Amino acid sequence: MAPAGCELARKLAGGCLEGADHCPLFSENWPGALSRREPLAPLTTFRVGGPAAIMARPAGLPELAALLAILQRRGCPWRVLGRGSNLLVADRGYAGVVIALGRRLGKVELLPAGPREPLSLLRVEAGCSLASLLNWTAAQGLGGLEFLVGIPGSVGGAAMMNAGAFGQCLSERVVALELVSAAGLSRVEPGERLCFSYRRLQGVAPEEVVGAVILALASREPEDIKKTARHYLARRRAGQPRGVASAGSFFKNPPGDYAGRLIEAAGLKGLRVGQAQVSPRHANFLVNLGGARAAEVLALAEQVQAAVRRQSGVELEPEVHFLGFS
């Protein structure tokens, strides 16, 4: 049932984007940038899906909190978009407000380390890309994040997904998260109270957004950091498809096994539904060969799940998040 007071939310129940014309955000004098019916496909690495009814781009955390307060008061549905590298958007788009956290929310700063010394404490706003963060930390001689090289996400998205590679994950470096809600910068949640697990973070409420991440990093020679990052990047490039749109690994690895191995064992490499394909190079990458529809990606994913279930008795769980499906 759609909350009262928001035409957009009422339209959501009908599954259409007409609510964009009536969105109360435009009459609220919110200072951030707003647009109607903005295509989401170019804002995701999958390059799939329809538009956002409304796109909102806050320029700072106070603006983000003000936006969340308006959306809560008006009962408007919303979702956060980082770099869109773990997201499949529905063909009809999202009939709500997409809050895009981009470069304008990408500040990186050193904090006093206090009892954490000799580690350095770093505060990184959620919209910062992992690539920018890695450049910054390498230049400062702060190591420990090199395993993230080549992951095309934002810091906020990486925290929500507990992004990881080569046996390491972001949660190992997280000291705390700054969480923003309609009430403002509502809380700083220490790492030990957060529940990170494989590609998952629990403990952030649905009405909260990760505004910034506090990390603890060790000093290291910049040249050593760059060398380690180059090593990881070469390993990544050797095993993954390049130059083709995807959201990385589509399924989570089941305990004690690899989704890619199970999909390959079921003989599914190269399987196609329309323009969506199981990558011939890495079976856990579902790729968009050009102009794929979300419905094709979903149909392919369901075929993969069914074949692996039949072959190995394993139920593959998507790692990718979904936007606009109901």
Ligand X SMILES: Cc1cc2nc3c(=O)[nH]c(=O)nc-3n(C[C@H](O)[C@H](O)[C@H](O)COP(=O)(O)OP(=O)(O)OC[C@H]3O[C@@H](n4cnc5c(N)ncnc54)[C@H](O)[C@@H]3O)c2cc1C
Point out the residues that are catalytic: 199, 249, 319
- Distance from C-alpha of 211 to C-alpha of 187, rounded to nearest angstrom: 10
- CB nearer to ligand X: pick between 31 and 203: 203
Establish if 260 lies at the interface with ligand X (CB under 6 A): no
- CB nearer to ligand X: pick between 233 and 306: 233
- CB nearer to ligand X: pick between 43 and 142: 43
Minimum gap (Å) between residue 293 Cβ and ligand X: 18
Which of 17, 20, 56, 80 binds ligand X (CB under 6 A)? It is: 80
Query: Which among 70, 6, 1 is positioned nearest to 32, based on CA atoms?
Result: 70
Establish if 152 lies at the interface with ligand X (CB under 6 A): yes
Strand residues in 62-158 grouped as ranges (E): 78-81, 87-89, 94-100, 108-111, 120-125, 142-143
Stretch that binds ligand X, among 216-224, 245-253, 269-277, 286-294 (CB under 6 A): 245-253
- Distance from C-alpha of 218 to C-alpha of 198, rounded to nearest angstrom: 24
Establish if 157 lies at the interface with ligand X (CB under 6 A): yes
Which of 45, 132, 140, 305 binds ligand X (CB under 6 A)? It is: 45
Establish if 185 lies at the interface with ligand X (CB under 6 A): no
CA angle 61, 67, 72 (to 5 degrees): 125
Which of 247, 271, 300, 316 binds ligand X (CB under 6 A)? It is: 247
Cβ-contact 319, 252 below 8 angstroms: yes
Which of 101, 142, 194, 259 binds ligand X (CB under 6 A)? It is: 101
Minimum gap (Å) between residue 63 Cβ and ligand X: 14
- The full DSSP string for 248-265 is EESBPPPTTS-HHHHHHH
- Distance from C-alpha of 131 to C-alpha of 135, rounded to nearest angstrom: 6
Minimum gap (Å) between residue 105 Cβ and ligand X: 8
Establish if 165 lies at the interface with ligand X (CB under 6 A): yes
Which of 71, 81, 229, 307 binds ligand X (CB under 6 A)? It is: 81
Locate tokens 């603006």: which residue? 63
Residues in region 195-234 near ligand X by CB under 6 A:
209-210
Minimum gap (Å) between residue 158 Cβ and ligand X: 4
Question: Long-range pairs for 296-303 at CB < 8 Å and ≥24 separation?
Answer: 297/46, 297/48, 297/88, 297/273, 298/88, 298/325, 299/273, 299/274, 300/271, 300/272, 300/273, 300/276, 301/250, 301/251, 303/268, 303/271, 303/273
Which of 23, 133, 145, 158 binds ligand X (CB under 6 A)? It is: 158
Establish if 286 lies at the interface with ligand X (CB under 6 A): no
Q: Across the strands, what pairs with 78?
A: 97
Query: Which among 235, 227, 304 is positioned nearest to 265, based on CA atoms?
Result: 304
Which of 40, 144, 146, 154 binds ligand X (CB under 6 A)? It is: 154
Sign of the four-CA dihedral 90, 92, 93, 94: negative
Which of 19, 50, 82, 260 binds ligand X (CB under 6 A)? It is: 82
Which residue type does 286 have?
A: L
- CB nearer to ligand X: pick between 90 and 307: 90
- List Cβ neighbours of 118 (8 Å cut-off, separation of 6 or more): 218, 219
How many angstroms separate the Cα of 68 from the Cα of each of 12, 72, 87?
Answer: 18, 6, 22
Total residues at interface with ligand X (CB under 6 A): 30
Which of 161, 262, 283, 304 binds ligand X (CB under 6 A)? It is: 161
**Binding string, 106-135, against ligand X, x = CB under 6 A?**
--------------------x---------
- Binding region for ligand X (CB under 6 A): 45, 79-87, 101, 126, 151-154, 156-158, 160-161, 163-165, 209-210, 246-248, 321
